[in-house]
Amino acid sequence: MDIEKLISNYREEKDVAKKISRLREIISICDHHYYVKDESLISDREYDQLFAELVELEKKHPELITPDSPTQRVGGEPLKEFRNVVHNKPMLSLSNTYSFDEIIDFDRRVNDLLEGEKVEYFTELKYDGVAISIHYENLLFKLAVTRGDGFSGDDVTLNVKTIRNLPLRVNEVSFNGISLRNFEVRGEVYMNYNDFLKINEDRIANGERPFANPRNLASGTLKLLDPKEVAERPLRVVLYYLDVEGVQLTTQSENIEIMRKMGLPVSPYSKLCKNIQEVFNFINYWENRRHSIPFQIDGIVIKVNSIQQQERLGTIARAPRWAIAFKYEAEKATTKLKNIILQVGRTGIVTPVAELEPVKLGGSTISRATLHNADYIEELDLRIGDTVVVEKGGEVIPKVTGVILEERPDWAVKFIFPEYCTCGLNGRLVRLPGEVAYFCEHPECPWQVRRRIEHFASRNAMNIEGMGERVVDQLVTLGFLRNIASIYELHQKSQDLINIEKWGEKRVHNLLKSIEESKKRPLSKLIFALGIRHIGEATAKILALKFGSLDALMSASEQELMTINEIGEKIAKSIVNFFNNPKEREIIDKLKFYGLNFEEKETQFSEKFLEGKTFVFTGELSSLTRAEAKSKVERLGGKVISSVSKKTNFVVVGENPGSKYQEAKKLGVSILYEDDFLKLLNEVPLDSNQITKTDQPTLF
């Protein structure tokens, strides 16, 4: 049945239980198409709408919530530690080889042991991720365990539950007349390369250390104790193993087919090979193509297809005799290290970079590679003039991984990490306690200034159109920009700007216009844009919400900051240090003087859109205190009262609500659960009139 029809059936359904189950089915079909088949059945907007409807229905009928509901993917409080779970059967590893000869040996061994029986191989991509074992009971997702030491691993059920391409309920599939309802599957949790890049970009922008490769990111994510954080990272899973207690399955290829029919994610790139020659063809086929799939693989797995034959071959030393992994060589090259230069990031972190004699590596020519930090150079005992090995593993930037000592010339010189930055302002390079990175202390370090202004103007920050990397570079070089505040002084120099080669009046006009517009950005954007170490977009939003104004945030103490759930000592210290720096204070004073918005929301609404509305609170809110909630409502023109009457506009319901909740229901007063309430405060569109008409029709 097509999706439109399912949606209209759901809309027409009157029975709540049936309505909810239809809605769940629609969402799970959409998820399957989106995450497994890579196609969208409906628009993102429509999907979000349906999902919100399900949340709403379940809120009204909590007794109808089931564990496989898509709303249950993210849930539960952060764990203190993971429980240890013993595997039904050990999770084995694979023997590896880089050579075709050893594959021929493998084929010979298999054939010898099976005494001339016909052998087929099933070849699969070797996904570069983290092994996982997943149990389904009665068709429902039940348990997920990491490989651990092969015999027992960590119970990461709540984390794996957030993985959107994994169904929480599988389709019922029969095998030889037996319905497969309870079973174990195994596979790999991984992340697509683009998602990995995006997360690293954000981390770098936030002054956090990027992950080395998608595998580290996937494994780091699985080990997070808070499933909510996991849910924000787009993990995926692919399955390649099925085990049903008491059922003798026939072949690997058939198992994959069964899992596919169950709706489980399996690789579309596997192949059944009749002989070892076809296996080689498969390996050769993927040698070049492995770079054009969205995720990283580190080789090919070759498996004897028949399960019976697998069982007869057995295992030795924790690796099966019936399978082998062929690994592609990491792309490496050797070249000369010409120099080591320092690169300064937005938060002042200085990274040493190797300047190389250009060399071909993995399809492109490279002339730079990262050296990570001073300790790394020390460990490699690297000297300028050395012949070095560069590698492009899964990493974004190639790295120097070794030195060929025999080729070291007499004149090779040791690199001494400079004491001062190359910025010309003599900024001292200092190392933070407990961190490997050095950073330039001078807030006006032109390298840092460039990165900071770029960040300030970037789309997710103040969104100043026409002020990208190149323009910033040009304006800093020409002396127009010295710090972020000087952006708002540019209008005084419009004539000089017009005279810049190839600029002209129109361009300057547009730039000044978008600079002017940026003054109205919400407080959270401004906080993010300031470029405080460790403050990403999400933290900036929380700070804006909690403090309501930049002045309040600036005067907050470390202790005060740490009372906020999401803020630990590191972040609190970073904020206090930032605002204690007189140079930063000076810049902020200027921003205020130039009229940037320092208050949460005020400038976003043309009017106080809660004017005349009354609110009653009952129960505990989890993300803000009663006092904070009250001040927010009041700031938007609303009034908070203590008892419910027919005239009350809203009753805001938190955890463990009191009798006011029942009262509100009885009197038919609009009920806002915490999410709704936050939405109302934060996500109302610019024009408050729109709210009544479209987004929140039932509220007003």
Catalytic residues: 126
Nearest residue to 470 (alpha-carbon basis) of 500, 427, 505, 509: 500
Give the shortest CB-298-to-ligand IVH separation in angstroms.
8
Alpha-carbon 412 to chain mean position: 42
**Angle of the 626-635 helix axis to the 674-682 helix axis, nearest 10:** 40
Which one of 90-98, 243-251, 334-342, 568-576 is the stretch in contact with ligand IVH (CB under 6 A)?
Answer: 90-98
Return the closest-CA partner of residue 392 out of 380, 402, 403, 400: 400
Give the 3-state DSSP-derived string for 148-184, with helices as H, strands as E and coil as C: CCCCEEEECHHHHHCCCCCCCECCCEEECCEEECCEE
Structure tokens at 130: 């983290």
Q: Applying CB under 6 A, does 154 fall inside the site for ligand IVH? A: no
Distances (CA, A) of 673 to 228, 546, 665: 19, 19, 13
Sheet containing 323-326: give its strands across.
96-97, 323-326, 297-304, 121-127, 271-273
Number of residues that bind ligand IVH (CB under 6 A): 14
State the nearest-atom distance from the C-beta of 100 to ligand IVH, in Å.
19
Report d(CA 118, CA 349) in Å as an integer: 61
Least separation in angstroms between residue 300's CB and ligand IVH is: 8
Complex with ligand IVH: residue 318 or 513, whichever CB lies closer? 318
Q: In angstroms, give the least distance from the CB of 105 to ligand IVH.
A: 18
Question: β-strand 438-440 against 349-361: which pairing, if any?
Answer: antiparallel
- Amino acid present at 270: S
Identity of the residue, 189 or 487, whose beta carbon is nearer to ligand IVH in the bound complex? 189
Tell me which residue has tokens 């700031």.
635
Nearer to ligand IVH, 22 or 147 (CB): 147
Nearer residue to ligand IVH within complex by CB, 269 or 447? 269
Of 72, 227, 205, 215, the C-alpha closest to 538 is: 205
Binding flag, residue 127, ligand IVH (CB under 6 A)? yes
Q: Residue 124 or 584: which CB sits closer to ligand IVH?
A: 124
Q: Which phi and psi (to 5°) does residue 338 adopt?
A: -85, -40
Binding-site member from 19, 22, 126, 372 for ligand IVH (CB under 6 A) = 126
Handedness of CA 200, 202, 204, 207 (dihedral sign): negative
C-beta closer to ligand IVH: residue 227 or 299: 299
Find the shortest distance in angstroms from Cβ 124 to ligand IVH: 4
325 binds ligand IVH (CB under 6 A): yes
DSSP for 555-593 reads T--HHHHHTSTT--HHHHHHHHHHHH-HHHHHHHHHHHH
Query: Which residue stretch of 88-96, 358-366, 378-386, 575-583 sits at the interface with ligand IVH (rule: CB under 6 A)?
Result: 88-96
Helix 16-31, helix 3-12: angle, nearest 10:
160
Residue 487 is given by DSSP the state G
Q: Is the Cβ of residue 215 or residue 372 nearer to ligand IVH in the bound state? A: 215
Distance of closest approach, residue 99 Cβ to ligand IVH, in angstroms: 17
User: Apex CA 456: angle with CA 453 and CA 459, to 5°?
Assistant: 125
DSSP code for 305: S
The nearest distance, CB 164 to ligand IVH, in angstroms, is: 20
Q: Considering beta carbons, is residue 147 or 346 the nearer one to ligand IVH?
A: 147
CB of 325 to ligand IVH, least distance (A): 6
**What binding mask, one character per residue, do residues 269-308 give for ligand IVH by CB under 6 A, x or -?**
--------------------------------x-------
Length of the chain, please? Answer: 700
Binding range to ligand IVH, per CB under 6 A, among 47-55, 119-127, 363-371, 686-694: 119-127
* Residue of the chain from 124, 155, 454, 674 that contacts ligand IVH (CB under 6 A): 124
User: What is the DSSP code (8-state) at residue 346?
Assistant: T
Q: Of the two residues 131 and 651, which places its CB atom closer to ligand IVH in the complex? A: 131
Q: Which residue from 26, 94, 369, 390 is in contact with ligand IVH, where contact means CB under 6 A?
A: 94
Taking the complex as a whole, the smallest distance from the CB of residue 94 to ligand IVH amounts, in Å, to 4
Cα angle for residues 690, 695, 700 (degrees, 5° grid): 80
Q: Does 323 bind ligand IVH (CB under 6 A)?
A: yes
For tokens 């099925």, name the residue: 242
- Provide the minimum distance between the beta carbon of 379 and ligand IVH in the complex, in angstroms, as a whole number: 27
For ligand IVH, give the closer residue by CB, 205 or 325: 325
* Strand, coil or helix: 646: coil
| DSSP reduced 3-state for 212 | coil
Q: What is the DSSP string of 262-295?
A: HT--B-TT-EEESSHHHHHHHHHHHHHHGGGSSS
What's the N-to-C CA distance of the chain in angstroms? Answer: 37
Stretch that binds ligand IVH, among 41-49, 91-99, 453-461, 606-614 (CB under 6 A): 91-99
One residue of 70, 234, 265, 320 binding ligand IVH per CB under 6 A: 320
User: Helix 276-289 and helix 100-113: axis angle, to 10°?
Assistant: 150
Nearer to ligand IVH, 323 or 461 (CB): 323
Q: Is 548 left (phi over 0), alpha (psi -120 to 50) or beta?
A: left
Distance CA 284, CA 21 (A): 47
Q: Assess 93 for contact with ligand IVH (CB under 6 A).
A: yes
Q: What mask, x for binding ligand IVH by CB under 6 A, covers residues 236 to 255?
A: ----x---------------
> Smallest distance from the beta carbon of 532 to ligand IVH, in angstroms?
39
Binder to ligand IVH among 6, 92, 140, 204 (CB under 6 A)?
A: 92
The piece of 124-132, 410-418, 559-567, 631-639 that touches ligand IVH (CB under 6 A) is 124-132
Say how many CA atoms lie within 13 Å of 162 toward its Cβ: 21
Site string for ligand IVH, 171-210 (x = CB under 6 A): -----------------x----------------------
Q: 41, 110, 131, 564: which one contacts ligand IVH (CB under 6 A)?
A: 131
Binding mask 441-460 for ligand IVH (x = CB under 6 A): --------------------
Give me the residues that bind ligand IVH (CB under 6 A), please.
92-94, 124, 126-127, 131, 147, 188, 240, 301, 320, 323, 325
